[in-house]
Amino acid sequence: MHRITITVNGQEHHCEVSPESLLVSLLREQLGLTGTHVGCDTSQCGCCTVLLDGVSVKACAVLAVQADGCSINTVEGLSKDGVLHPIQEAFSACHGLQCGFCTPGMMMTAACLLSTNPTPSDEEIVHAIEGNLCRCTGYVNIIESVREASRLIATQQA
């Protein structure tokens, strides 16, 4: 077992993990953050996407020990004090979800994109989410949701 320290959604955690434990398992099973979904276990679907030191990663492809000393943001960390993040507002308003299984990963991918590119083109949005699979939608409303989130964030910052 290895003892690691990670900061998740601004809160520091000291955890015991086995060398083969995946970050997604640590988040879901030890920390109870079940918004990070397990979809394929092969890093193909993107349902487990989180931000690791600000970079979107698939948590099923990262060993928990690799996250030692890192800051992780999950979908649970988007809202603050019960107020939805603009990304969450936009996905709701633009119907960017159907079954909702891929939605946390899509939102975290959008958060990463918008943190580095606050006004992405549709082509840039499509490129950013190409590692996230949705089996319900045609992606049109997801792209619209990211576009709307960009607009909402810009409005809040103005």
Segment 77-124, tens digit of pLDDT: 999 999 999 999 999 999 998 888 999 999 999 999 999 999 999 999
Task: Enumerate the β-bridge partners of residue 88.
Answer: none
Q: Set out the domains of the chain in order of their start, with CATH numbers.
A: 2-77 (3.10.20.30), 86-157 (1.10.150.120)
Give the global pTM.
0.95
Angle at 107 between CA 9 and CA 135, to 5 degrees: 135
| Integer CA distances (angstroms), 47 to 13, 15, 29, 75, 153, in order | 23, 23, 16, 11, 24
Strand order in the sheet with 11-17: 11-17, 2-8, 71-73, 49-52, 55-58
